[in-house]
Amino acid sequence: DGGITQSPKYLFRKEGQNVTLSCEQNLNHDAMYWYRQDPGQGLRLIYYSQIVNDFQKGDIAEGYSVSREKKESFPLTVTSAQKNPTAFYLCATRTPQRDSTEAFFGQGTRLTVV
Amino acid sequence: AQSVAQPEDQVNVAEGNPLTVKCTYSVSGNPYLFWYVQYPNRGLQFLLKYITGDNLVKGSYGFEAEFNKSQTSFHLKKPSALVSDSALYFCAVRDGNDYKLSFGAGTTVTVRA
Determine the pLDDT at residue A36: 96
Interface of A with B in 49-78 (CB under 8 A): 50, 56, 58-59
- Decide: A111 and A89 in contact? Cβ < 8 Å: yes
The whole-number mean pLDDT for each consecutive block of 10 residues of chain A, a chain of 114 residues, reads 86 92 95 92 92 94 97 96 92 79 92 91
Determine the pLDDT at residue A2: 54
Collapsing DSSP states into helix, strand and coil, what is residue A61? coil
CB pairs under 8 A between A and B: 67
Cα of A87 to nearest chain B Cα, Å: 11
C-alpha B18 chain-centroid distance: 15
Question: In the structure, what pLDDT confidence band is assigned to residue B1 with cuts at 50, 70 and 90?
Answer: confident
Determine the pLDDT at residue A39: 83
User: DSSP letters of A22-56?
Assistant: EEEE-S--SEEEEEEEETTTEEEEEEEEEETTEEE
Determine the pLDDT at residue B42: 83
Determine the pLDDT at residue A98: 60
Residue A108 CB neighbour total at 10 angstroms: 23
B42–chain A Cβ distance below 8 A for any pair: yes
User: DSSP letters of chain B?
Assistant: --EEE---SEEEEETTS-EEE--EEE-SS-EEEEEEEE-TTS-EEEEEEE-SS-SEEE-GGG-EEEEETTTTEEEEEESS--GGG-EEEEEEEEETT---EEE---EEEEEE-
Would the CA dihedral through B1, B23, B85, A103 be positive or negative? negative
Cα of B18 to nearest chain A Cα, Å: 24
Determine the pLDDT at residue A97: 62
Residue B103 has its nearest CB partner, among A6, A43, A102, at A43
For an interface test with A, the pick among B44, B90, B97 (most A C-beta atoms closer than 10 Å) comes out as B44
Judged by CB atoms closer than 8 Å, whether chains meet at B43 and A48 is answered as: no
- What percent of chain B has pLDDT above 70? 100
> Per residue in B4-55, pLDDT tens?
999 999 999 999 999 999 999 999 988 999 999 998 878 899 999 999 889 9
Determine the pLDDT at residue A1: 47
C-alpha B86 chain-centroid distance: 14
Determine the pLDDT at residue A88: 95
Determine the pLDDT at residue A41: 81
Judged by CB atoms closer than 8 Å, whether chains meet at B42 and A108 is answered as: yes
